[in-house]
Amino acid sequence: MLRSKKILLIIGGGIAAYKTLDLIRRLRERGADVTPVMTHAAAEFVTPLSVSALTGNKLYRDLFDLTDEAEMGHIQLSRSADIVLVAPATADLMAKMAQGLANDLASTLLLATDTPVTIAPAMNVRMWEHPATQRNIATLRGDGVRFVGPNDGDMACGEFGPGRMAEPLEIVAALEAQLADGPLKGKHVLVTSGPTHEPIDPVRYIANRSSGAQGTALATALAALGAQVTFVTGPADVPPPGGVTVVPVQTAQQMLEAVQAALPADAAIFAAAVADWRVEGASARKLKKSKDGLPTLNFAENPDILATVAQMEKGRPDLVVGFAAETNDVIANATAKRKRKGCDWIVANDVSPETGIMGGSENAVHLISDDGVEDWPRMPKDQVAARLAARLAQALS
When asked if residue 16 is in the footprint of ligand CTP (CB under 6 A), the reply is no
Of the residues 53, 132, 157, 332, only one is catalytic, namely 157
Identify the DSSP state of 204: -
Residue (34 or 347) nearer to ligand CTP, CB: 347
238, 261 Cβ separation under 8 angstroms: no
On the CB side of 98, CA atoms within 13 Å amount to 18
Q: How far is the CB of 15 from ligand CTP (least distance, A)?
A: 37
157 carries an active-site annotation? yes
Q: Is 56 exposed, middle or buried (0-12, 13-18, 19+ CB in 10 A)?
A: exposed
- Residue 178 CA to residue 389 CA, distance in Å, equals 16
Identify the DSSP state of 273: B
Residue (194 or 241) nearer to ligand CTP, CB: 194
Q: How far is the CB of 304 from ligand CTP (least distance, A)?
A: 4
For 319-336, b/e burial (b = at least 16 CB within 10 A) is bbbbbbbbeeebbebbbe
Which residue from 107, 322, 358, 386 is in contact with ligand CTP, where contact means CB under 6 A? 322
Binding residues for ligand CTP restricted to 28-87, rule: CB under 6 A: none
- Residue 383 CA to residue 218 CA, distance in Å, equals 9
Residue (125 or 347) nearer to ligand CTP, CB: 347
Binding residues for ligand CTP restricted to 326-385, rule: CB under 6 A: 337
Q: How far is the CB of 89 from ligand CTP (least distance, A)?
A: 30
Residue (231 or 323) nearer to ligand CTP, CB: 323
Q: How far is the CB of 240 from ligand CTP (least distance, A)?
A: 17
Strand 198-199 and strand 205-206: the pairing is antiparallel
Strand 299-301 and strand 362-363: the pairing is unpaired
Which residue from 306, 319, 384, 389 is in contact with ligand CTP, where contact means CB under 6 A? 306
Binding residues for ligand CTP restricted to 153-212, rule: CB under 6 A: 192
- Residue 99 CA to residue 140 CA, distance in Å, equals 9
Residue (8 or 324) nearer to ligand CTP, CB: 324
Strand 151-154 and strand 160-164: the pairing is antiparallel
**Shortest CA distance to 83 belongs to which of 48, 118, 108?**
118
Which residue from 33, 170, 304, 344 is in contact with ligand CTP, where contact means CB under 6 A? 304
Binding residues for ligand CTP restricted to 113-152, rule: CB under 6 A: none
Cβ atoms < 10 Å from Cβ of 266: 17
Binding residues for ligand CTP restricted to 224-283, rule: CB under 6 A: 252, 270, 272, 274, 276
Give the binding range for ligand CTP (CB under 6 A) out of 7-15, 100-108, 136-144, 323-331.
323-331
Q: How far is the CB of 316 from ligand CTP (least distance, A)?
A: 14
Bridge partners for 162 per DSSP: 152
Residue (178 or 349) nearer to ligand CTP, CB: 349
Which residue from 325, 365, 386, 389 is in contact with ligand CTP, where contact means CB under 6 A? 325
The contacts of residue 317 (CB under 8 Å, 6+ apart) are 190, 263, 264, 265, 266, 267, 268, 309
Residue (350 or 382) nearer to ligand CTP, CB: 350
Identify the DSSP state of 354: G
Q: Which residues bind ligand CTP (CB under 6 A)?
A: 192, 252, 270, 272, 274, 276, 302, 304-306, 322-325, 337
Active centre residues (catalytic): 157
